[in-house]
Amino acid sequence: MDTIIPPPPPLIEARGLRFEVGGSAGRVNILKGVDLTVREGEAVGVVGPSGSGKTSLLMLLAGLERPTAGTLRVAGRDLTALDEDALARFRREEVGIVFQAFHLVPTMTALENVAIPLEFSGDEHAFARAEAALRAVGLGHRLAHYPGQLSGGEQQRVAVARAFVALPRLILADEPTGNLDRATGQAVMDLLFDLRAKYGTTLILITHDPALAARCERQVHVADGMIERDTALAPA
Ligand SMILES: Nc1ncnc2c1ncn2[C@@H]1O[C@H](COP(=O)(O)OP(=O)(O)OP(=O)(O)O)[C@@H](O)[C@H]1O
Ligand SMILES: [Mg+2]
């Protein structure tokens, strides 16, 4: 009898994802039924107008927010079923995030910013690995600098090193070059794509720049809380 090896399950599988928030302004219906499947190793550019729900979708995929309805499996876990501790473990083990505004801890050096999250997850070699990650992004000479002593591009490279240091299966990037000039942004983006190619990491990249989105083999267009279009392209 032939042995049939089933294909690996997708890294991300979202069905009917809805996200509503309530507040003084009343209920806001942010995501209105998103279906999304992403295979391991894919690079997906997420584009769409301001306010369409891109960052909200990223927050759900990262386990930083919980969907109001729908199912969401990421890296083999049903995120809707996890308690806060399990969600925190999921984020540490499976996800690296790069935000537009860098989000480094201002009172920690570059080295500490990269090492401390690793140390939290019990890695005895956290500082050595963090140093190697910073060297890999060209910041071996800036280990003891605080974020306030680094340029924007350097801060974002620290954030990229932090995102990759635990070798997560998924990198989520939300306009990672939005606060950088064109040349610096290009260098950060090259770094992101180089590391992703090296480690085979799945990448979800939110961007307003069509040229950046075109570096991904697939583009998802979000409009008014829904996926309006999902197109595969040959990578640039
Ligand atoms: N906590 C919140 N409370 C109320 N409304 C919110 C909240 N967070 C987001 N929204 C609204 O949800 C919509 C989607 O926001 P989101 O940040 O996901 O958009 P986006 O596509 O990332 O936009 P941009 O391109 O400007 O970053 C917006 O209209 C926003 O005002
Ligand atoms: Mg956004």
Cα(213) to ligand 2 centroid in Å equals 15
- Check pLDDT > 70 for residue 53: yes
Query: How far lies 190's CA from each of 41, 135, 140, in Å?
Result: 17, 16, 18
Q: Which residues line ligand 1 (CB under 6 A)?
A: 21, 23, 28, 30, 48, 50-56
How confident is residue 162, by pLDDT bands cut at 50, 70 and 90?
very high
Cα(229) to ligand 2 centroid in Å equals 18
Q: Checking DSSP bridges between strand 43-47 and strand 218-223, what pairing results, if any?
A: parallel
- Check pLDDT > 60 for residue 168: yes
Q: What is the pLDDT of residue 3?
A: 81
- Check pLDDT > 60 for residue 65: yes
Cα(175) to ligand 2 centroid in Å equals 8
Distance CA 67, CA 166 (A): 26
* DSSP structure class, residue 202: E
- Check pLDDT > 80 for residue 45: yes
Q: Coil, strand or helix: which one is 189? A: helix
Greater confidence (234 vs 101) lies with 101
Atom of ligand 1 nearest to the CA of 175: 27
φ and ψ at 195, to 5 degrees? -65, -40
Q: What is the pLDDT of residue 192?
A: 93
Distance CA 48, CA 231 (A): 13
| Nearest CA residue ID for atom 18, ligand 1 | 53
Cα(88) to ligand 2 centroid in Å equals 22
- Is the separation of the CB atoms in 66 and 18 below 8 Å? no
| The pair of three-digit structure tokens given for residue 26, joined into one six-digit string | 């009343």
- Is the separation of the CB atoms in 114 and 128 below 8 Å? no
- Is the separation of the CB atoms in 113 and 137 below 8 Å? no
68 Cβ contact list (under 8 Å, min separation 6): 18, 19, 20
**Per residue in 72-103, pLDDT tens?**
999 999 999 999 999 999 999 999 999 999 89
Mutate to test the pocket of ligand 1, among 18, 29, 46, 55 (most ligand atoms within 8 A of CB): 55
Cβ burial of 10 (10 Å; 0-12, 13-18, 19+) is middle
For residues 30-56, average pLDDT: 96
For residues 137-141, average pLDDT: 94
CA 16-171-163 angle, to 5 degrees, is: 140
- Is the separation of the CB atoms in 80 and 60 below 8 Å? no
| Nearest CA residue ID for atom 13, ligand 1 | 51
In DSSP terms, 77 is beta-bridged to 74
From the CA of 99, the nearest ligand is 2
Distance CA 87, CA 80 (A): 9
In the block, tokens 């570096």 appear at 215
Atom of ligand 1 nearest to the CA of 225: 14
Q: What is the pLDDT of residue 2?
A: 74
| Nearest CA residue ID for atom 7, ligand 1 | 21
| Nearest CA residue ID for atom 28, ligand 1 | 51
- Check pLDDT > 70 for residue 234: no
In the block, tokens 């401390």 appear at 116
Q: What global pTM score does this model have? A: 0.93
Hey, what domains does the chain have and what are their CATH numbers?
40-66+82-232 (3.40.50.300)
Cβ burial of 93 (10 Å; 0-12, 13-18, 19+) is middle
- Check pLDDT > 80 for residue 121: yes
Cα(28) to ligand 1 centroid in Å equals 9
Q: What is the pLDDT of residue 83?
A: 96
